[in-house]
Structure 1
């Protein structure tokens, strides 16, 4: 999830305004879900054709199933996208949080170590557009769960969820795609 953070304002009454540093911190939180060394097999001189190598693909799949046990019980703040699993009227009771918009609505789903299960049954959260980013504060639990659309490697007991409203001049930035950024 890369953004050119010009200005971001949350939809709730808190007036929370995200900075470029917030986006870096959230990206680092997603990275911390992957145990150190999980992708050490990827060569520094990676080339596109390698993706078609069955052995390499198998290694990628296996690395995506490795979760970080050191995160058990840790409090985190993370931004991502909601993929509803259970909805009642206009409220989401259970959902998956993924790092990029549109994941889980296509195949393959994101790796297990990049998917968080969030149960808001006791305090349902409003249904949002799948492309609307949210920020969640909460405590992590490590452990896999399987759902029809994807598996998760973590559960997050959310203490607070707010919506990020990206202003129209927020442009997703793809590293290396534009030398001026």
Structure 2
């Protein structure tokens, strides 16, 4: 095989892998074990420090102003994200808030939220603490505020709903009741 033929073959293989969705390397294949993450993992380091300062009542005025700048009056926070998570197959806990109820107790669109009552009884969390979740098949939910584990490929994608904005999105591949 000539050098030109080898190069053409290698280029064709690389293109085929990219078209098949394999260009993300170790990050996205559902056949891999998911990376287990928690809510702080969705925040860049600078956001973690600001949230900790706000909770401790030690944030300066400029930090508070910057952190609370948002497109929605009721939703404080930012769209800053962790780029390294983009395209990763992850597993994370949270609470599903259905956005479209196809049938009673089933939906295909949800917000995955870090705490019970977010967006309904309490203000929306920051956009970088909300994951917009979709499913090809309706997901059955018995209790609206029952915690779950969710698996899927997480993407950095701004989404806007009537309840809140999110900085992440996910096509779900598995949902199961939460068990520590």
Confirm or deny: 8 A CA contact 1:39 1:60 kept in the other structure. Answer: no
Question: In 2 relative to 1, CA 115–46 (structure 1 residues): closer, same or farther, beyond 3 Å?
Answer: closer
**1:35 aligned to 30, 44, 53, which one?**
44
Structure 1 length-normalised TM:
0.65
Q: Which protein shows a greater Rg? A: 2
Figure out how many residues of one structure are paired with residues of the other and give that number.
138
Instruction: Give, in whole Å, the separation in 1 of the partners of 2:55 and 2:97.
Output: 31
| Deviating more after overlay: 95-104 vs 34-43 | 34-43
**Residue 125 (str. 1) matches residue 125 (str. 2):** no
Contact in 1 for aligned 2:39/2:129 (Cα 8 Å): yes
Task: Say yes or no: does 1:114 pair with 2:121.
Answer: no
Compared CA separation, residues 45 and 99, structure 1 to 2 (3 A): closer
User: Is 1:100 the equivalent of 2:115?
Assistant: yes
Gaps of 5+ in 2: 1-34, 70-76
TM-score (norm 2): 0.66
| Structure 1 segments of 4+ aligned residues over 6 angstroms from their partners | 42-46
Q: Which is helix-richer, 1 or 2?
A: 2
Gaps of 5+ in 1: 1-24, 167-181
Q: Which structure ranks higher in relative contact order (CA pairs < 8 Å, sequence separation ≥ 6)? A: 1
